[in-house]
Amino acid sequence: MILMNRFRLDLPFGRSVVTLVAAHDLAPQSLIVELTESSATANEVVMLGILARLRLKGIGLAIDDYGTSYSGLERLSTIPFTILKIDMQFISAMMSNANARAIVESSIALAKRLNMKTVAEGIENEGQLTLLKEMRCDYGQGYLIAPPMEFEKLLDWIATAYEADPSISASLGL
């Protein structure tokens, strides 16, 4: 996953991503470019063109921190996102706050209607995980599942998880 808060979304970036995918013989759908909902650019038209080209090449697009900025619905209607990541502030509040729960539930439903996958950020307890499964959230991330880690530690974590449950390889795409 490429986090766009660390790169400038411009024409050279778009070309570099496509070139690197081809040079390393990667499946384009295995790469996801992640933008925060409030990502700004000096030239919105250029940004939309770059993102559309990346999608045409099969590269996925994720909108991160969904629900935390004013432009969410406008962005969803103009950018061909493949993944909607629901901000952790709603996940942590949904068990005790009916409004947060309604936002999470409607965000998942909206993503399904737009043929997008959903990711819940900041899952910290079994209650949240159970409720998200009931809401049909596709994926989750948070300390309940695993803390943030470097790539090398991720490989060890996957191996350990596989030893405990060999069926995990299907859910990890292995």
Query: What percentage of residues in the chain have a pLDDT greater than 70?
Result: 84
Q: Is the pLDDT of residue 32 over 60?
A: yes
Per-residue pLDDT band for 77 (boundaries 50, 70, 90) equals confident
Mean pLDDT confidence for 141-168: 82
Mean pLDDT confidence for 27-43: 76
Residue showing tokens 């449950």: 165
For the whole model, what pTM was predicted? 0.80
Q: Tell me if residue 121 is catalytic.
A: yes
Q: Are 36 and 66 in contact (CB under 8 A)?
A: no
For residue 140, which of 160, 117, 158 has the smallest C-alpha distance?
117
Catalytic residue of the set 37, 105, 121, 126: 121
The mean predicted confidence, pLDDT, of the chain is 84
pLDDT at 12: 76
Neighbouring C-beta atoms of residue 93, cutoff 10 Å = 15
